[in-house]
Structure 1
Amino acid sequence: MKNPYQKIYLASKSPRRRELLRQIGVVFELLLLRDQTPRGPDVSEDVLPGELPQTYVARVTMEKARAAYQMMVWRSLPARPILAADTTVTIDGRILGKPANKREAVEMLRLLSGRTHQVLTSVAVIHQEQSWQLTQVSDVLFQSLSDAMIEAYCDTNEPYDKAGGYGIQGPAAIFIESIHGSHSGIMGLPLFETAQLLQQAGIRIL
């Protein structure tokens, strides 16, 4: 039987990551980083000049995990493993973040239409001054999208809190012709890799 006192801190606002952790029975408490402070966000998600997509997503993820670890220490919270993750979409070497408005969302979907892109999700766990990290990469092929399909989708709330302007778990699933990789990774938390990291940190999954 799983130790009922095993619990982690999740440093993510994503409701999808919460659902995925619950799916594999991981008990968690939110330890949320701040988007706004007098000195700016706790962790900036700006891309550094010349930064490659895989380097970018891994760096931001580890910075989130370390910031949450420091928050745990400063608040004198019970010491538990901290999990952070970040997802980015890339095509032609370009990093597609969350669209700020409809124009950006339409531009992203037109770029993805009829082509294969990559979804990168990096996961980091810190516990007792040790850290573990993996980045999962999935190839996603979109069907060719008509302007009407793109406009209709971008008139919903779906694109605006998701890297690349779409979510596989919503209506955009009909855009996806095929995937090679991890369905849960495309959602924002690759469960195979996440379970490996948590087990290394002493969390029993089953």
Structure 2
Amino acid sequence: MASDATRLVLASGSKTRRALLEAAGVAVEIHAADVDEAAIRDRLLTGEPSVSHESIALVLAEEKARSVSAEQADALVIGADQVLSFEGRLFEKAKDMAEARACLGALRGKSHALHSATALAQGGTVVWRGVETARLTLRNFSDAALDRYLEQVGPVVLTSVGAYQIEGPAIQLFETVEGDHSTILGLPLLPLLAELRRREVLVS
């Protein structure tokens, strides 16, 4: 339970992130951040093409937290973001089913990284941030298995980077998964909970 003295706000409309926090016993209000993620990514990559993908995830999480914190000055705001890094490229959410199929086809039989970043902001200022990485390898599945998966889950694949949600039927496409489950889902809980305890927002 969060203390009565501190309001916790999640700067995300993600049902998964909210569910992770609530399952951990952390009550949050929801105020989705209104930031142009694509413009921020493009600015970072144009300004410094060699910028790390972890840094991009961190900046996005910070911008979300800062944006909502400027409007919710009395709250501690949680911002989060996740990027998929594969062979030096950043993958975004697929725009349609054909693009989702192409994305999974590119990842098939290979490994990729999910960088999940979290930031805390108060009064419009970022006061803490962190990033965790999970590494996942898809098995060399058949075209028939890919078609079956896409038929099974439908357009929901367009809501997640990489065109998969590992907590569902997509798990059948994977060979190995290395990393904390909450990191894979886009909100690394353990470092966040540790920081909330350090700030006495949660009981230590």
Measured against the shorter chain, the TM-score band is 0.7 to 0.9
Q: Given that residues 99 and 160 in structure 1 are in contact (C-alpha distance below 8 angstroms), is that contact kept between their aligned partners in structure 2?
A: yes
Could you say which residue in structure 1 is the equivalent of 2:184? 186
Instruction: Report the CA distance shift for 1:138/1:205 in structure 2 as closer, same or farther (over 3 A).
Output: farther
Aligned equivalents of 1:101, 1:69: Cα separation in 2: 33
Unaligned runs of 5+ in 1: 35-41, 74-78
**In the TM superposition, what is the alpha-carbon distance from 1:63 to its structure 2 partner?**
0.7
**In the TM superposition, what is the alpha-carbon distance from 1:134 to its structure 2 partner?**
0.5
Per residue, is there more helix in 1 or in 2?
2
**In the TM superposition, what is the alpha-carbon distance from 1:43 to its structure 2 partner?**
3.3
**What is the TM-score of this pair, normalised by structure 1?**
0.86
Identity of aligned residues (%): 25
Q: Given that residues 83 and 114 in structure 2 are in contact (C-alpha distance below 8 angstroms), is that contact kept between their aligned partners in structure 1?
A: yes
**In the TM superposition, what is the alpha-carbon distance from 1:83 to its structure 2 partner?**
0.2
Query: Aligned partner of 2:11: which letter?
Result: A
Could you say which residue in structure 1 is the equivalent of 2:158? 160
**In the TM superposition, what is the alpha-carbon distance from 1:196 to its structure 2 partner?**
2.1
| Candidates 98, 101, 104, aligned match of 1:106 | 101
Aligned equivalents of 1:199, 1:45: Cα separation in 2: 33
Query: Aligned partner of 1:80: which letter?
Result: A
**What is the TM-score of this pair, normalised by structure 2?**
0.86
| Candidates 169, 174, 186, aligned match of 2:167 | 169
Instruction: Report the CA distance shift for 1:205/1:168 in structure 2 as closer, same or farther (over 3 A).
Output: farther
Indicate the SS of the match to 1:86. strand
Instruction: Report the CA distance shift for 1:114/1:132 in structure 2 as closer, same or farther (over 3 A).
Output: same
Q: Given that residues 127 and 201 in structure 1 are in contact (C-alpha distance below 8 angstroms), is that contact kept between their aligned partners in structure 2?
A: no
Q: Given that residues 2 and 8 in structure 2 are in contact (C-alpha distance below 8 angstroms), is that contact kept between their aligned partners in structure 1?
A: no
Could you say which residue in structure 2 is the equivalent of 1:29? 29
Aligned length: 194
